[in-house]
Amino acid sequence: MGGATGDVAVDAYHKYKEDVQLMVKTGLDAYRFSISWSRLIPSIQPHVMLFHFDHPQALEDEYGGWVSRKIVKDFAYYADVCFRDFGDRVAYWTTLNEPNVDVLGGYDTGHLPPERCSPPFGLNCTKGNSSSEPYLVAHHLLLAHASTVRLYRENYQDTIATRRALDFLIGLILNPLVFGDNPYAVKNNAGLRLPAFSDYESKQVKGAFDFLGLNHYSTDYVTDN
């Protein structure tokens, strides 16, 4: 709000020691904090949200962000980058967070970014139209969602399944020889059944080959289950 960004915020991750000192000086006798479940037990499956009310300022400046149909193509491109770069570690994706709240808060009442509204529905907005923009934004959000789902189903859904199958068929042997560790998909699915390499074992196994021989007998088709 008001031009602020979440780039750094309070930066408690790096300044926790300074924060504790300030608490002591202030005379506080209690401090509530959160433990990150996903950091403490990282084997939990990540569930990634692609859009949580924050599109690039450059798109807002160029064509008004979600009020323009141009954002549908840009959102699909952004999703494509995420699927391509993180798809081997992420099995669950969500496209849009609370799209109805985004529509009403950002383009009707204007109390959420990008603070677009008009009287009498919203106050203190310098741009926007509460009578028309919420409908445009809702329409474009739906189109962006549909485009992203289609992109994923056509280009990535079976691709991820194929990669996982190859990790079990070939990567179980080849990955340790090349990288010194098992493939992520194998570790994630096999869990404690898969022995972990110690640092010493990893160094022994990594690079322990002069050439690779690959037998190809047939082609298999894989679908995700």
| Ranges of each domain in the chain | 44-205
CA–CA dist 118, 215 (Å, integer): 68
Q: Looking at this protein, which amino acid is placed at residue 118? A: S
Which residue from 98, 135, 142, 134 is spatially nearest to 117, judged by alpha carbons? 134
Which stretch of DSSP H or E encloses residue 150? Answer: helix 133-155
Task: Return the pLDDT at 32.
Answer: 78
Mean pLDDT of the chain: 90
Decide: 152 and 79 in contact? Cβ < 8 Å.
Answer: yes
Task: Return the pLDDT at 172.
Answer: 95
Residue-wise pLDDT tens digits, 144-173: 999 999 999 888 888 888 888 999 999 999
CA angle 80-49-41, nearest 5°? 115
Q: Dihedral through CA 100, CA 111, CA 119, CA 60, nearest 10?
A: -80
How many percent of the chain have pLDDT more than 70?
93
Task: Return the pLDDT at 103.
Answer: 97
* CA-CA-CA-CA torsion sign (151, 154, 155, 156): positive
Evaluate if residue 116 carries a pLDDT over 90: yes
Task: Return the pLDDT at 87.
Answer: 86
pTM comes to: 0.63
Task: Return the pLDDT at 163.
Answer: 86
Task: Return the pLDDT at 162.
Answer: 87
Residue-wise pLDDT tens digits, 1-41: 666 676 777 788 888 899 999 999 999 888 877 766 666 66
CATH architecture for segment(s) 44-205 = Alpha-Beta Barrel (3.20)
Evaluate if residue 214 carries a pLDDT over 90: no
Residue-wise pLDDT tens digits, 36-58: 666 666 667 778 899 999 999 99
Task: Return the pLDDT at 155.
Answer: 87
